[in-house]
Structure 1
């Protein structure tokens, strides 16, 4: 019996430690140009070209990263600590009945209560949504608490790291607990 319990515990521990686990606290809908764009998608800012950008996430190289989704083009732009890329398949954050989404000022990797995590990195570290004003836009980036910076890279623009930024927070309505 002891061996069975140890094996079950070990399997649970391995399954829990798998990198690139998705966030399950919030409502995410699959998106690309073949799906209708949800009317309740959460707006995240605007890009240097004047397009509204919506909050998304993409799976990339054993990580799950925040993405800036442009509805008109169906493209999600995302970045890790070094480079930026784009994807045509992504998930969109949509408004839930029991959650108010808002941006809260933050700095230096401070964990904000109810911060929205998109998933985990290859090191099984939670990855959060952040944004900052840069290069003519209000752009979404990746916040790794261990790095204490909001990292933003958009297409041809230079990689930027901000120690002061905003974090997306999903506050529960009417005493809802998650």
Structure 2
């Protein structure tokens, strides 16, 4: 009986460790030009062209990566460790009643309590939201704790890696820290 229980637990652990799984801890709404833009979307910064950018996520291959959503164009810009791209179908992070979202200064892959993950990589590592000021904008990038860098690339601009950056953190409004 003991061996059977251990086997069941092991199988459950393997089944829950699915690469490229979406974050379900926060509220994400589907987005593209066909949907109305949510009025409770979270502002993440601004791009070099003067547009406000909102926090989003995109599935790219077997990875789920943070995205910079421009409401006016309906396009989400994103990058992985090597390249930048854009998508017209994405998810947008919206404000929940129970959380307050803030940007916290961080560095060197330090895990900040309450960091917002977009999902997991193809290596089953959580991918987090980060941002830094670069190339005339305040841009959102991807943070994988093992990389210890906030990686940002915007269209034709150079790939940038920051060891000091800001991380998006969700704090409970009631003040209770779990």
Give me the TM-score of the superposition, normalised by structure 1: 0.95
In the alignment, is residue 145 of structure 1 matched against residue 149 of structure 2? Answer: no
Q: Distance in 2 between matches of 1:154 and 1:102?
A: 23
* 2:72 counterpart SS class: coil
Q: Which residue of 1 aligns with 2:71?
A: 71
| Matching of residues 41-56 of structure 1 within 5 Å | 41-56=41-56
* 1:67 counterpart SS class: strand
| TM-aligned CA deviation for residue 10 of structure 1 | 3.8
| TM-aligned CA deviation for residue 12 of structure 1 | 1.1
| TM-aligned CA deviation for residue 176 of structure 1 | 5.0
| Matching of residues 13-32 of structure 1 within 5 Å | 13-32=13-32
Q: Is the 8 A contact 1:98 1:176 kept in 2?
A: no
* 1:5 counterpart SS class: helix
**Structure 1 regions of 5+ residues with no counterpart?**
none
Alignment RMSD (CA, Å): 1.4
**Structure 2 regions of 5+ residues with no counterpart?**
none
Count, aligned residues: 178
Q: Distance in 2 between matches of 1:171 and 1:23?
A: 16
Q: Is the 8 A contact 1:102 1:169 kept in 2?
A: yes
**1:6-63 deviation digits (Å, cap 9, x = unpaired):** 5533431221111011111111101011000000000000000000000000111111
Q: Cα–Cα, structure 1 residues 47 and 170, in superposed 2: closer, same or farther, change >3 Å?
A: same
Give runs of ≥4 in structure 1 deviating > 4 Å.
1-4
